[in-house]
Chains A and B, each alone.
Chain A
Amino acid sequence: GAVVSQHPSWVICKSGTSVKIECRSLDFQATTMFWYRQFPKQSLMLMATSNEGSKATYEQGVEKDKFLINHASLTLSTLTVTSAHPEDSSFYICSARDQTASGGGELFFGEGSRLTVL
């Protein structure tokens, strides 16, 4: 089945630095990828929709200058947390839709990236 790879799975950084998280669709092309954030014991919160070749669509309350999204190819989207602070510590998950599949295209998730900002 379709696989979405996310890297790194775990990162610790100092406050003020920037961290880049990659999301790759390994055996299908994804014109749209989604980035989520999840706090402990809470549901997934959609941060933004990443569109290949165009600007990402951010959800209300998500700072686009803080969370930079680039979808440079049909198999790769990146999320960069700029000038990270401890409150940015969270679990970030990406997903991609296999739009070639029957039934409307199943959504596949990456394994997630746990970010800890010291």
Chain B
Amino acid sequence: EDKVVQSPLSLVVHEGDTVTLNCSYEVTNFRSLLWYKQEKKAPTFLFMLTSSGIEKKSGRLSSILDKKELFSILNITATQTGDSAIYLCAVGHAGNNRKLIWGLGTSLAVNP
């Protein structure tokens, strides 16, 4: 059965800390791995990863994929209170509809 496992489930840090969020997966017919940030409403897209070892960066956020060990990490440096959110990892199937298999998310709280 396809599954995506995120860890930790929740995390509390202080502003300025660096955090690493983990996402491991067992999915047949892998196409891509995606990271989303969810605050109050729908998720907002962060990264899409398809190739191993190539880091994607956006400001203080970065992510990398390891297709051999079947995991990805999302790093956030110099955290701010606005980074508080649920971070969701999803793996996309390569089938016709390319549906996503979702992890349960990591709830991040950044305290001032």
Contact with A along B80-98 (1 / 0, CB 8 A): 0000000010100000011
Q: Are B88 and A107 in contact (CB under 8 A)?
A: no
Q: Which residues of A contact B105 (CB under 8 A)?
A: 43
Do A32 and B97 have beta carbons less than 8 Å apart? yes
Whether the Cβ atoms of B97 and A57 lie closer than 8 Å is yes
Q: How many A-B residue pairs have CB under 8 A?
A: 48
8 contacts between A and B (CB under 8 A): A43-B102, A43-B104, A49-B99, A103-B48, A104-B48, A107-B100, A110-B42, A111-B42
Question: Closest Cβ of chain A: how far from B23's Cβ, in Å?
Answer: 12
The secondary structure that dominates the A interface is strand
Q: A34-B100, A111-B42 are in contact. List 9 more A-B contacts (CB 8 A).
A: A6-B42, A34-B99, A43-B105, A44-B88, A45-B102, A46-B102, A93-B42, A110-B42, A112-B42
Contacts of A103 in B (CB 8 A): 48
**In the assembled complex, which residues on chain B have CB atoms less than 8 Å from the CB atom of A112?**
41-42
> How far apart are B30's CB and chain A's nearest CB, in angstroms?
13
B43 interface contact, C-beta 8 A: yes
Contacts of B44 in A (CB 8 A): 109
The B6-56 residues at the A interface (CB cut-off 8 A) are 31-32, 34, 41-45, 48, 50
In whole angstroms, how far apart are the Cα atoms of A42 and B104 in the complex? 6
Per the CB 8 Å criterion, the residue count for chain B at the interface is 21
Interface size band for A: 20 to 34
Q: With A104-B31, A109-B43 in contact, is A43–B97 under 8 Å at CB?
A: no
B107 at the A interface (CB under 8 A): yes
User: Which residue of the partner chain, among B45, B90, B99, B104, contacts A106 with CB atoms under 8 Å?
Assistant: B45
Interface residue A24 (Cβ < 8 Å from any Cβ of B): no
Bits for A92-109, please: 1 = Cβ < 8 Å to B, else 0.
010001000001111111
Contacts of B48 in A (CB 8 A): 103-104, 106
